[in-house]
Amino acid sequence: PPLVRLFKRLEGAAMLGQSPRRITIVAYLSILAALHGASAAGGQCDLPQGSCAEKHSLASDHLLISTRFTKARTHAVVEAADGLLQGGSSAAGLGSQQEGVAALEAFVMKQVDKALSNPKSALPEDTLASLKAFKDYTKALQEDVLKLHASDQKDIDLDLDDIKNCSDSGLEAKRSSMEDLRRQHHSCREQQAAMVDTTNSACEEYNRARKSDRFAGAPPTCSLAKVATDSPDALEAFETCLTQTYKWTAGLEPLREACHAAREELYEKAEKCKELQSSFEVSACLHATKQEDTCSCRERTIAHFETRRKTISEGEHVRQHIYKSAVQMACFIDVLVNDTTDKREALQTCKELPIDVSHLQIAFGLVPEVAVTCSQAQPCSEKWLSDEYGAKAWHSRAPTAACAACGTKAAGTLPPTPAPTPISVGVATVYSTHAAFMALNK
């Protein structure tokens, strides 16, 4: 018969490599609807001339197709149902694929209408066989919806975890280390600036005294060259000169020593601050790199999450509709295939059946927030130098060394202890302890 030939053509299309989705529930239900339409017409057939058979032939075809439907469901129909239920294709399935569920509803509701118009009439055996096959399918639909909902929820949860993991990859540790070194460097420079003032004050006091009339006006002019003499006269002259020199230096030497000590402490502090500056800049580069990685990771994972959320959200509504329809159609089928005393009341109950789909709502959650600014100035850039160094109150008295930009050798490792460099302190330039002593005693 033509309907069997149609079914075989569908099977042949699948065997020739065409997508199994072509063998959808739409085809089966359309065939069954056509059969019942022809049967209900009392011999009036819409099929081509010669295609209409006798009643027993129609029933045979109908049962044959129902049997094939049951056997093929795990292959072709499940493929079609999966396509309809998959989150990625749910939106596309709003067209042709969703017609399968619509055809199921139309077929079942047609039998419901018949039962309501004539509650006492019994359904033909072929119709009962079809409805029982569809009852299994409605159960499978509900199970598939639940499985796919769980799968989608898992995907959403994993996506949110991926976003969270972007921020759990060491950024906070890098930030904490950088901020700690920033505080240490800032504190060191503040101390250095204060020591500049102290050193300038001590050295200015020494220089004022050194140039005063007390010392500059009458420095000892005698000679201490006869320190080893055995001559009484020469020894007396030496000792007189020594006393004069001692009295003269006794008032000046403590001032010189205070200036010298302050300069040495200032030099050591400046070197310490320079090391902290280098460590801070290295940590700032490491933090900037990790922050850039975090921002890139978040941008990528959030975009993926939003795309998936949009797709799943669209499929979510489709699956809820399918689930509600499957539950209601199952209710109708139970009434139709069972010997219910009052089919009218039972069918009305199915029509008004409240179906809860709250368990099919996806919990999309919230995108995890993180304290990260993705547009900060890079270390050693003009703005960064101004914010970190130039704008500080200590900078004019404790200027920083040249900044090592990220990616340079200096920025990757802590620098070795440098050779002593001159430190300008108000009234003199000191290079080392020995140089300071020599400079002060020229």
Per-residue pLDDT reduced to its tens digit, 383-407? 999 999 999 999 999 999 999 888 7
pLDDT higher than 60, residue 62:
no
pLDDT higher than 80, residue 35:
no
- Model pLDDT, residue 100: 63
Please write down the long-range contacts of 79-83, taking CB distance under 8 Å and 24 or more positions apart. 79/20, 79/21, 79/23, 80/20, 80/21, 80/23, 80/24, 80/25, 80/26, 81/25, 81/137, 81/140, 81/141, 81/144, 82/144, 83/21
Model-level pTM?
A: 0.55
Per-residue pLDDT reduced to its tens digit, 216-245? 888 888 999 999 999 999 999 999 999 999
Q: Which of 196-200, 328-332, 361-365, 423-427 has the lowest mean pLDDT?
A: 423-427
Mean of the pLDDT values across residues 332-338? 86
Higher-scoring residue by pLDDT: 305, 68: 305
pLDDT higher than 60, residue 23:
no
pLDDT higher than 90, residue 28:
no
Mean of the pLDDT values across residues 276-288? 94
- Model pLDDT, residue 132: 85
pLDDT higher than 50, residue 333:
yes
State the pLDDT confidence band at 315, using cuts at 50, 70 and 90.
confident
Q: Which of 68-82, 168-182, 217-231, 354-368 has the lowest mean pLDDT?
A: 68-82
- Model pLDDT, residue 82: 40
